Chains A and B, each alone.
Chain A
Amino acid sequence: MTERSGWRALAFGGVVLTALLTLAAARWATARYEGALAERAAATTAAYLSLVTPAAKGGAGYELPRLLIESHAVGELAELTSRVEVYHGTAPLVHATGSPLPHALLERLRRQAAPQWNAGAAVAPLLDRNGWDVVGAIAVWPQSGAGPSIRTLLALLVALGTGAMAAGGAGAGAVESGLVRRRWSPACYGAAAALLAIAAYGDVRGVAADSTDRWLADTRLLMQEAMARVPDARSSLSTLAPITRGAEVVPGDSAGPASWRRRVNGEGHAAVAVRLAPGRWAELRVLPAETGSGGWFAVTLGLALLGPCAAAFAAWGARMATQPRRRRETVTAWAFLAPSMLHLAVFSFAPILFAFYLAMHRWSLVEPVRPFVGVANFARMLHDPLVWISLRNTLLYVLYVPVSAAIALGVALALSRSTWGARAVRTMFFLPYVSSVVAVTLVWQWMYHADFGLINYLLSFVHVRPVDWLGNPKTALLAVMAVSVWVQLGYQMTVFLAGLNGIPQTYLDAARVDGAGAWQRFWKVTFPLLRPVTLFVLVTDVIGSFQVFTYVYVLTEGGPLHATDVIAYRIYQTAWEFLQFGYASALAVLLFVVLFAVTRVQFRLLGRRVEYA
């Protein structure tokens, strides 16, 4: 069967290709960490050289002979783990026979402070003593990095083996391969692919951790060297700041040259002890590179799992080979589904997942370092009084929904006849719902105004003293709820009208003949039959009202005294005013959990089906 073997070949190809892609991605990630280390080491070395090399007389540049000596010293510093070249201008100093630095690169370094890449090396500018002009450069060659570890190679073998079995099964018909094999080999292959992803990610993480360790070791040496050579540094640690940039230096205890990992304030830190002077030790502390490597796990896992997907697809294709019409229908169905699935994936699922990811990180727009903090954001939530206040306000606010639903049902019952007048009144009730929310809210803001507002003006006729509706913590939330009732009423009324129209008249006729009065007819027939509609109105509006934002934002901005501070407003303020996106995401997750629970409860309470006989 040629088609079968075609599918089998596809499955095999998918298995091999995705395994190799996984390894390639891991390799690329490794190279990136090595590159980042090289850039950092180059900058650190440049800072060190500019600190220890004396300035040339009458200028900000360095004495060339001294620079030459220092460069050689750096290049041969025994423990230094990177291959280094120092350029004075464009001339190499450590290996004098090496090729000079291109002029264009030096110019580029002058214009941008960031390290550049040249001939496989990270090049950082060497600034003059004033930190003004670029007088040379430091090039650091990244290590080529080890290949995949034994562990990864083993995982690769297992993945390829199980993948081959799964692919073989894909080409075989149901009869040829045993049921057990057909069932289990794809599952085994999936597990093996996941293992491969984990192993490959382990390599990446190891290199990342190693790069941090090597930088710490290098920087420790350079710091100790600088302390020994530069008298100023002894009095003020800040002199060393250019060397340690991006890292913290705190007083510490004596320790060996090995670096260690420790959690401080919920964040992982990598640190090494630096001997500044006899008996004077400091701790050089930095965020380890592996902290932010989680994204690479997603990449390797995604690539590795493409293999089982390909095998499953091929198996499906082989199975469908005898049912071309069904295959065509399935393909067509997926083709029709694809746009909305893509839309959902990109604009719904991905943001939701990203929110969960953010919730577990300290994530600010302005800080480049966004460390993983685990459940710290959630723990903080528990002790944040504003969160509890906003949660309480949200729950109080939601109470408007049953109120407005009850009014809407009453209005719908009153306006269910399709006379000209009823239609006109229905339109009036519906208008607020289709108007711009902000415009409507602004009008209400004016009506609520303490001095010039319509409401206080009307109240003055019955000798009620003016009320500062939006300025008084006691009335502000009620005022916001009133606007919501007014806007939502038309929508709820329309849904109820549709529901009322859907109730067959004969039930009401039967109830009339049975002797039920209008009140009994409503409670015993109409209302029970309307239950699915009521459920719909309550669920959609409760969900919507938990997310209330616009009214609060326009009317009160959460005030006065947080009296109208609702959860969505809290999220907004945390994210966009305090720029704490991680914490804001954690609040969003809280809202998600609350909504999920509320919806479940509502479905339980009202979810019993009504079947029309």
Chain B
Amino acid sequence: MASVTLRRLTKTFDRDGKPALHDLTLEVRDGEFLVLLGPSGCGKTTALRCIAGLEEPSAGEIRIGEREVTHLAPADRDVAMVFQNHALYPHLTVRANVAFGLEVRRVPKPDIARRVQETAERLGIAELLERRPAQLSGGQRQRVALGRAIVRNPQVFLFDEPLSNLDATLRSEMRAELLQLHRALGATMIYVTHDQAEAMTMGERIAVLHEGRLRQLGTPAEIYGMPADAFVARFTGNPGMNVLRGQGRASSEGERGGAGVVDCGSLSVPVALEHYEGEILLGVRPEHVSLCAVGQGVGNAAVRVVESLGAETLVHVDAGGQTLVAKLPGMVELHVGATVGVHLDRRRLHLFDGAGERLE
């Protein structure tokens, strides 16, 4: 087992000058399950491929444990990778697929047989060993791909969106299995995904990437509760945080609450703001928005869309040109076009400056 350290890692592809990775510095602790989260094109897969050795970084360095591996071949890094489409060799049986990494390393035959058998039993694929990948279901392929990784007992596991090809039920099942495997092996795992729910449920820590830069590194609770900027705020949660653009000003006489007020659209939200005036981004998670009678909240808004999900209802309202989503418990009877009052949980407001950086 080993830690993985990225220091000022930059990767620029030849075609366009824009770096896919920009000065990425990140430490993955020994035995940690770290999730690289971000929208497609954010550089998370590039980072993973750099760690695997499939891409050579343009600048910066990569260490696995104490070893500097920046320019080593993938074979010499002692990492294993599970690919998005599993990448099982179609012409080989499951047994040969799992054994491939050991065979090319010239592990003695009896050892190979024993380790393949152990791995297969651990993953419940022992009876599939003589089949070919085309004869397997999605979940079985997933397990074989895992087996191919763990049979080599590497220092670091890399996962590149391994569950994205599975259906929803199987995905949650596999998530649990992966976490169990992580606990059992105690190995360092780096897991790339664009699915924030997957990241929240699996990651011990989450690194949010956007446009090749690290936006925030923290536990799921930190990411959810204290997003470092407006991007992280919008990207996490389902649906993501409402971020309204407004103007900050000192509160005038007669207005309740704090020292400052943010006017966004038809809402005037009192905030604990003292020194900031000018453009401000006001963030609030949908679950902290509630609707009330007209005039009772921080402003009024018109109902645009009502999405009933059974256990909860998402209400999209238009507050003077800014859209706001409220997540309300249970089924809610509301007519599109109706005017409602908007109430925000004042303790759960997030303020960002005009560039999106968090204000404290």
Binding site for B on A (CB under 8 A): 504, 506-507, 509-517, 520, 524-525, 528-529, 531, 610-613
Q: A529-B89, A611-B132, A613-B90 are in contact. List 7 more A-B contacts (CB 8 A).
A: A513-B54, A515-B75, A524-B100, A525-B89, A528-B92, A529-B91, A613-B133
Q: Return the contact of B104 from the options A516, A531, A611 (Cβ within 8 A).
A: A516
Do A513 and B80 touch across chains, with their CB atoms under 8 A apart?
yes
Could you mark each residue 50-91 of chain B with 1 if its beta carbon is under 8 Å from any beta carbon of chain A, else 0?
001110000000000000000001110001110111111111
Do A510 and B141 touch across chains, with their CB atoms under 8 A apart?
no
Residues of B within 8 A of A528 (CB): 89, 91-92
Interface of B is mostly: loop
Residues of A within 8 A of B89 (CB): 507, 510-511, 524-525, 528-529
Nearest to A529 among chain B residues (CB) is: B91
B172 shortest CB reach to chain A, Å: 23
Residues of B within 8 A of A512 (CB): 53-54, 73-75
Complex alpha-carbon distance, A235 and B148, angstroms: 102
Complex alpha-carbon distance, A514 and B147, angstroms: 12
B86 shortest CB reach to chain A, Å: 7
Question: Is B105 among interface residues, defined by CB-CB distance under 8 A?
Answer: yes
Complex alpha-carbon distance, A369 and B53, angstroms: 79
Question: Is B293 among interface residues, defined by CB-CB distance under 8 A?
Answer: no
Complex alpha-carbon distance, A507 and B81, angstroms: 12
Q: Return the contact of B83 from the options A509, A520, A529, A610 (Cβ within 8 A).
A: A509
Complex alpha-carbon distance, A515 and B74, angstroms: 7
Do B136 and A613 touch across chains, with their CB atoms under 8 A apart?
yes
B252 shortest CB reach to chain A, Å: 62
- Chain B CB count within 10 A is highest, among A504, A509, A520, A528, for A509
Do A509 and B87 touch across chains, with their CB atoms under 8 A apart?
yes
Question: Is B197 among interface residues, defined by CB-CB distance under 8 A?
Answer: no
Tell me which residues from 97 to 155 in chain B have a Cβ below 8 Å from any Cβ of chain A: 100-101, 104-105, 132-134, 136, 141, 148, 152
Do B134 and A515 touch across chains, with their CB atoms under 8 A apart?
no
Do A506 and B85 touch across chains, with their CB atoms under 8 A apart?
yes
Complex alpha-carbon distance, A19 and B54, angstroms: 76
Do A524 and B104 touch across chains, with their CB atoms under 8 A apart?
yes
A535 shortest CB reach to chain B, Å: 13
Could you mark each residue 144-180 of chain B with 1 if its beta carbon is under 8 Å from any beta carbon of chain A, else 0?
0000100010000010000000000000000000000
Residues of A within 8 A of B92 (CB): 528
Do A510 and B87 touch across chains, with their CB atoms under 8 A apart?
yes
Interface of A is mostly: helix
Complex alpha-carbon distance, A529 and B87, angstroms: 13
Residues of A within 8 A of B49 (CB): 509
19 A–B contacts from the bound complex (CB under 8 Å): A506-B87, A511-B89, A512-B74, A512-B75, A513-B75, A513-B79, A514-B80, A514-B152, A515-B75, A515-B104, A524-B100, A525-B89, A528-B89, A611-B90, A611-B133, A613-B86, A613-B132, A613-B133, A613-B136
Residues of B within 8 A of A610 (CB): 90-91
Residues of B within 8 A of A504 (CB): 85, 87
Complex alpha-carbon distance, A504 and B86, angstroms: 12
Nearest to A531 among chain B residues (CB) is: B91
A239 shortest CB reach to chain B, Å: 83
- A-B pairs with lowest CB-CB distance, top 10: A613-B133, A611-B134, A514-B101, A515-B75, A510-B87, A506-B87, A528-B91, A516-B104, A512-B74, A513-B81
B116 shortest CB reach to chain A, Å: 13
Residues of B within 8 A of A517 (CB): 75, 104
Do B101 and A529 touch across chains, with their CB atoms under 8 A apart?
no
Complex alpha-carbon distance, A506 and B141, angstroms: 15
Residues of A within 8 A of B133 (CB): 611, 613
Nearest to A608 among chain B residues (CB) is: B91
Task: Given A528-B91, A613-B86, A613-B90, verify A514-B104 contact (CB < 8 Å).
Answer: yes
Nearest to A528 among chain B residues (CB) is: B91
Nearest to A527 among chain B residues (CB) is: B91
Residues of A within 8 A of B132 (CB): 611, 613
Residues of B within 8 A of A511 (CB): 89, 100, 104
Task: Given A509-B54, A524-B100, A613-B141, verify A514-B90 contact (CB < 8 Å).
Answer: no
Complex alpha-carbon distance, A430 and B47, angstroms: 40
Residues of B within 8 A of A515 (CB): 74-75, 101, 104-105, 152
Complex alpha-carbon distance, A531 and B73, angstroms: 28
A518 shortest CB reach to chain B, Å: 10
Could you mark each residue 343-359 of chain B with 1 if its beta carbon is under 8 Å from any beta carbon of chain A, else 0?
00000000000000000
Do B91 and A513 touch across chains, with their CB atoms under 8 A apart?
no
Residues of A within 8 A of B148 (CB): 510, 514
A211 shortest CB reach to chain B, Å: 68
Complex alpha-carbon distance, A506 and B54, angstroms: 10
Q: Return the contact of A514 from the options B84, B86, B100, B141 (Cβ within 8 A).
A: B100
B186 shortest CB reach to chain A, Å: 21
Complex alpha-carbon distance, A524 and B90, angstroms: 11
Tell me which residues from 35 to 58 in chain B have a Cβ below 8 Å from any Cβ of chain A: 49, 52-54
Do A510 and B136 touch across chains, with their CB atoms under 8 A apart?
no
Do A612 and B100 touch across chains, with their CB atoms under 8 A apart?
no
A473 shortest CB reach to chain B, Å: 44
Complex alpha-carbon distance, A516 and B53, angstroms: 13
B144 shortest CB reach to chain A, Å: 9
A571 shortest CB reach to chain B, Å: 40
Do A506 and B83 touch across chains, with their CB atoms under 8 A apart?
yes
A69 shortest CB reach to chain B, Å: 96
Do B104 and A507 touch across chains, with their CB atoms under 8 A apart?
no
Complex alpha-carbon distance, A514 and B103, angstroms: 9
Do A513 and B74 touch across chains, with their CB atoms under 8 A apart?
yes
Residues of A within 8 A of B88 (CB): 613
Complex alpha-carbon distance, A506 and B92, angstroms: 15
Residues of B within 8 A of A509 (CB): 49, 52, 54, 81, 83, 87
Tell me which residues from 278 to 321 in chain B have a Cβ below 8 Å from any Cβ of chain A: none
Residues of B within 8 A of A611 (CB): 90, 132-134
B93 shortest CB reach to chain A, Å: 12
Nearest to A506 among chain B residues (CB) is: B87
B191 shortest CB reach to chain A, Å: 16
Nearest to A609 among chain B residues (CB) is: B134
Nearest to A612 among chain B residues (CB) is: B90
Complex alpha-carbon distance, A515 and B158, angstroms: 15
Residues of B within 8 A of A506 (CB): 83-85, 87
Residues of B within 8 A of A529 (CB): 89-91
Task: Given A524-B100, A613-B134, verify A513-B90 contact (CB < 8 Å).
Answer: no
